[in-house]
Amino acid sequence: MNIGKVLSLLLAAAYLIAAFTSATPENGLRVLLFLLLPMACIWFSEELGEFTGNWGGQHIDQKSPGCVLTFVGWVMLLMPLLAVLFLRLLVKR
């Protein structure tokens, strides 16, 4: 297991703990569902990148580089944290 996977797991766990302790269980489940795609992109980037065929009515005929899927996964995983930090900066003004 590499450091990126460990860090993503720690961040996802922090999101889940925050969601389940500060909001309703429904919101915690929403966060859990949100985390599925970015975590899959980070943890299984090479496997997902190898996929070709039909998905959701779209035909995928080229493989995707695993590093691109990892990057997209990290962008999605960090978006909520960056949004909260940005909003806190705006409120302080």
Angle, vertex CA 47, rays to CA 6 and CA 8, nearest 5: 15
Q: Looking at the 3D structure of the chain, how many domains does it have?
A: 1
> What stretches of 39-79 adopt beta strand conformation (E)?
53-55, 58-60
Q: Which domain holds residue 19?
A: 3-92
* Local confidence pLDDT in tens for the 93 residues of the chain: 799 999 999 999 999 999 999 878 898 999 999 999 999 999 999 888 888 888 778 887 888 898 999 999 999 999 999 998 999 998 876
The pLDDT mean for the chain works out to 90
**Whole-prediction pTM value?**
0.85
